[in-house]
Structure 1
Amino acid sequence: MSSILFSPPAPFSLHPHAHLSPSMSILRRLHLNLRTRRRIATVSAAVRQDTTFWTPAPLSEVEPVAESLFHIAIDVSDAPDLAASHSLAGQYLQVRVADAPKPSFLAIASPPKLAAVRGVFEFLVKSVAGSTAEALCALKRGDVVELSQAMGSGFNIDRIEPPEKFGTVFIFATGSGISPIRSLIESGFDAEKRSDVRLYYGARNLKRMAYQDRFKDWESSGVKIVPVLSQPDESWTGESGYVQAAFSRAKQISNPLAIGAVLCGQKQMTEEVTSILVADGVSADKILKNF
């Protein structure tokens, strides 16, 4: 009997005049196609990124308004096209700060009319360590940043119009999610013509609750403010816990077909409030979000 010796296979190499088997040819084409698709995807991503039109604009105000929250105003009076791109409450844009790693997406807190009349965008920015937002909050008046055009479809208030048909509107916000809600309230959505408009606004405590100085004006426009504190001090006598729990305790839904809602803030809150409303018969189409 002859013996057969096995040795480790030599590294595969292809002679320049050798012919590929059909299976090898297919594998090679698949490999080349995959590399080509990756190159195309990389180039396409770069092209998409490069299509963003950036407009330089100076800061006109930078000031703390609550714990870790800053009011920032940016002068866009020299950029009328940029100012005009903000047409609906709930829209957002990108802000680019020198030396920051990447742009930051920020909801516009001011109503569109402020950009039209005064040429200003206002923001409520939460300063998070190591973020572009932190770099933005550290700037001074006169420092220049770059802005993209306003984007997003905003809050589609037409879906809960006319006010006579949708007399009840529940509004929910947590933390810096109050930013686009401020834009909505100050833009006006006929709150005074509705029978029950309530804003459930959640924060850890009063030190972290922005826009308290605007509550009186919001109430006079027809919006009842319900502050909800998750970690209040002993002197607090208002609603405590989470926004969704406070709403569940107080809600009285007799005609769900006459109810609209607007939500912005922490994901768990928006999901749970949506579930509560839908379970009570409110149409998902009448629950507005800005994303």
Structure 2
Amino acid sequence: MLLRSAPRRLHLLRPHHLRLLSAAALASAAPTPAPVPPQAPTEWAEAPLAAVRPATADASLYHVSLDLSAHGDLLASHAAAGQFLPFRLPAAPYPIFLAIASPPPSPGSSAAAFDFLVKRLPGTPSARLCDLRPGDLVQVGASVVGRGFEVARIADARDVLVFATGSGIRRGSMIGKPKELKLYLSSQDQTVNGQASENVFSRMKDILNPSSVGAILCGHKQMTEEITRILVADGLSKDRILTNF
């Protein structure tokens, strides 16, 4: 992550010969509306929660699983990583849009649930969701929304840079030929403002060729705009920088 001041926690992961992130690789955990909020759906479905449990020791993040065994059309509408599902919770003044953390169902798959990683923010609809129990019914959009990450645009990349804030990375599986994957992850309380104090991409120019690099940005809009500006200035084509909004 690129920050104005030196980050307190910056992880650079370099698994050898990893493959390109697949549709399950990226899902923002933000419980707020998508960065460019889509309109609330006109059709809603009702489904039970399959699991609701803390995902961290301090219970600031929750794992939520939605049982969609009775909603085949909704399951099938999930086609790309980074797509969102609208939730309408009791007494909430507005719907929330949660990015789906599980992969789109593959042909013949028996998967019948969507998984989410949710920040439990007191006083918000996300907290109400995290306070529910397995078996409770919730209203969700009748189909997923958002374009997701157009992974095919960087299918030829030899190196993939992934920038995420907070819990922006949920989990991943791999597709395609062997690739090098580098993950830049900032802690949850860090933000990107103004000009970055250091340029990781510039420091890596001796080992990275912009023509063979792809980038995936997973986080709030301000972060993605700042990282995009920096990567483009360093020679990476904007067409090779993926966002999900």
| TM-score (normalised: structure 2) | 0.73
Q: Tell me: CA distance 1:75–1:260, structure 2 relative to 1, closer, same or farther (3 Å).
A: same
Deviates more, 1:262-271 or 1:104-113: 262-271
1:122 paired residue number: 115
Residues 183-224 of structure 1 deviation map (CA, whole Å, 9 limit, x = unaligned) = xx33x333x611x2111122148xxxxxxxxxxxxxxxxxxx
Partner AA of 1:193 in structure 2: P
Distance in 2 of aligned mates of 1:71 and 1:79: 21
Distance in 2 of aligned mates of 1:127 and 1:272: 26
Distance in 2 of aligned mates of 1:174 and 1:91: 17
Following TM superposition, where does structure 1 have runs of at least 4 consecutive aligned residues deviating by more than 3 angstroms? 243-250
Partner AA of 1:125 in structure 2: V
| Preserved CA contact (<8 Å) 2:165 2:188 | no
Deviation at 1:84, TM superposition (A): 0.6
**1:200 aligns to 2:191 (yes or no):** no
Structure 2 counterpart of 1:150, from 144, 154, 157: 144
Larger strand share, 1 or 2:
2
Partner AA of 2:75 in structure 1: A
Structure 2 counterpart of 1:189, from 168, 171, 175: 175
Structure 2 counterpart of 1:258, from 189, 196, 212: 212
2:67 paired residue number: 75
Structure 1: runs of 5+ lacking an equivalent: 1-47, 206-229, 231-242
| Preserved CA contact (<8 Å) 1:177 1:266 | no
Deviation at 1:117, TM superposition (A): 2.0
Distance in 2 of aligned mates of 1:124 and 1:246: 30
**1:65 aligns to 2:55 (yes or no):** yes
Structure 1 counterpart of 2:200, from 247, 255, 266: 247
Q: Tell me: CA distance 1:144–1:123, structure 2 relative to 1, closer, same or farther (3 Å).
A: same
Distance in 1 of aligned mates of 2:75 and 2:208: 42
Partner AA of 1:156 in structure 2: E
**1:174 aligns to 2:165 (yes or no):** yes
**What is the aligned-residue identity percentage?**
45
Structure 2: runs of 5+ lacking an equivalent: 1-38, 191-195
1:5 paired residue number: none
SS of 1:124's equivalent in the other structure is strand
**Structure ID, larger Rg:** 1
Larger helix share, 1 or 2:
1
Deviation at 1:271, TM superposition (A): 2.2
Corresponding pairs, count: 197
| Preserved CA contact (<8 Å) 1:178 1:265 | no
Query: What's the RMSD between the two structures over aligned residues?
Result: 2.5
How is 1:37-116 mapped onto 2 (pairs within 5 angstroms)?
52-66=42-56, 67=58, 68-113=60-105, 116=109
Distance in 1 of aligned mates of 2:199 and 2:133: 39
